[in-house]
Structure 1
């Protein structure tokens, strides 16, 4: 079966059942992460929302339960900007295994000043990339215990036009917020692909997949009160953009398919079908710079140092 035919038969509104499986979604209390969690809950799986905001997580869980009666969804206190807290967060899950994790949580700043995490890392790079990088070493035993554990990293279409500065990963010398955000997402994507190469080298049953949501706007996103509510004016203002982009509910589709579809392969990049901006999910060619394994390896080594992480991230 070709990848194109796989894409045609996948129905984003009729997902396969996943009873007995457990999925963790970082940043599952809002935005795309919320819709990833809601859609995964519809499969009958147990869903854990990783969030540093208990109140927001409670609101998200109440919304999911109202739409998916009988679902099992719970909150895990998770602060990716505090690397020393991550091991305790994973221990608090009290799980014997984890079938998949979606690395979705992220910080996006639009203007200066440059901010830092508790660990002294630039906030977006430190949270979006280093937080997930460090979390992996604590999740690896749980993912390895599943028959085919999956790590799904949510990158960004914005990363297509960015390049990493390996000599200034923290944007200390030339801080531009939007560029720093794009580079943090690019770093995540490099990580997801390099992780899969290392998993393959160890004959692991786990796999790592990279996805991106395309263009996903709040104005095109369906209401989920109180998680997400928009005015009539906001809805109307977003209608023209709907010709080329989509809402965050559709932006969740590539990540959800990467979790559930047995035809998905490690090391793939999945995004929306139409110009990478909107539509149903499909595999797409890697951005040319993402295929640079030398950059990925250097980023891995630098990330180990910055996150004080095990170079193997708990892999065998």
Structure 2
């Protein structure tokens, strides 16, 4: 074993964020892999030799991301999967078009973040952020279940947010029909995702599944601290200089992708863990951090699960699907 993966003084092997272990022969799906954190997750996973599928509703943005990844990783095996998490009726068709026998991991990263009112809905009638960020991934997991179960050690990695830590779910108003404030609704949608990831792992363990469900979050990740990847992202010299003071506390999106990449690849990762940046949960190399506070409330997680089943019509008979009892 090389020194970069040898044991550290803490008893855990060292993890080199710039040289993750090879993953040739494995297939990973990254939702929202065309931009932001998702783009850098896809780029870093492509560097391992794995097949990386970018789930995106925009063919043009996906094409730009593929060009950028291939410019950085000439041997990259990457492709686009049309995927619209706001359209639940389309998700089975998207999964069928994956055309793979197994899926080694899915990174639930895609998300909608609105800054201003008014409240918006998906075509299905769900509040846009909750419907896309949580319910879309919830239902997608059901359709991916057989492919994940067919892998030797499949993983569901759900990307949460630091913004969720200060929020609480209102189980009586999950769709924010009574209290819609964009930033709060976004934070609650990310909190719902995190509850889902933890509850999914509890149910997978109860079913003796080999699939793991893991949480990750990027900490504080700014565009202005993110290296350029034209045409996906272009950072000006002025923006970089203005952001330097913030770099003492937070980081760019390339580094923000590290926890999710480790959650996908590290053989020491365990189901139900939460991975985030080492320094105050805001910046730095990835580490497992304790799941605490309201995220430990299994009663809320179970009630959210039941509500999500009702809202999506998820079928408990498919694989380890989201309504597994």
Alpha-carbon shift at residue 311 of structure 1 (Å): 3.9
Q: Distance in 2 between matches of 1:150 and 1:44?
A: 18
Deviation per residue, 1:143-177 (Å, 9 max, x gap): 00000000000000111110000000000001000
Residues in 2 aligned to 1:261 and 1:203: alpha-carbon distance in whole angstroms: 21
**Compared with structure 1, are the counterparts of its residues 43 and 288 closer, same or farther at alpha carbon in structure 2 (3 Å cutoff)?**
same
Q: Distance in 1 between matches of 2:265 and 2:59?
A: 27
Is 1:6 equivalent to 2:12 in the alignment? yes
Equivalent residue of 1:195, what SS? helix
**One of 266, 270, 276 as aligned partner of 1:265:** 270
- Secondary structure of the equivalent of 1:116? coil
- Aligned pairs for 1:206-285 (under 5 A) are 206-285=211-290
Q: CA deviation at 1:308?
A: 1.1
Give 5+ residue unaligned stretches, structure 1. none
* Pairwise CA RMSD: 1.3
Contact kept, 8 Å, 1:128 with 1:185, in 2: the verdict is: yes
Q: Which 10-residue stretch deviates more, 281-290 or 261-270?
A: 281-290
| Unpaired runs of at least 5, structure 2 | 1-6
Q: Aligned residue for 2:162?
A: 157
Which residue among 76, 79, 97 is the counterpart of 1:71? 76
Correspondences of 1:100-179 after superposition (within 5 Å): 100-179=105-184
Distance 1:54 1:184, change over 3 A: same
Q: 1:313 to 1:213 in 2, by over 3 A?
A: farther
Asked if the contact 1:63/1:227 (under 8 Å) is kept, the reply is yes
1:81 corresponds in structure 2 to 86
Among residues 188, 197, 221, which one is paired with 1:192 in the alignment?
197
Cα deviation digits, residues 80-134 of structure 1 (max 9, x gap):
0000000000000111000000000000001101000111000000000000000
Aligned-partner Cα distance in 1 for 2:301–2:77? 37
Change (3 A) 1:224 1:77: same
Cα gap change, 1:295 to 1:313, in 2 (>3 Å): farther
Give the number of aligned pairs.
315
TM score, norm. by length of structure 1: 0.98
Residues 91 and 274 (structure 1), Cα distance of their counterparts in 2 relative to 1, 3 Å cut: same
Q: 1:312–1:241: structure 2 CA closer, same or farther, 3 Å change rule?
A: farther
TM-aligned CA deviation for residue 3 of structure 1: 10
- Against the structure 1 CA distance between its residues 152 and 313, is the aligned structure 2 distance closer, same or farther, given a 3 Å change threshold? farther
Residue 313 of structure 1: CA displacement? 5.7
**Contact kept in structure 2, 1:121 and 1:170, CA below 8 Å:** yes
TM-score by length of 2: 0.95
Instruction: Check conservation: 1:49, 1:74, Cα contact below 8 A.
Output: yes
Confirm or deny: 8 A CA contact 2:38 2:257 kept in the other structure.
yes
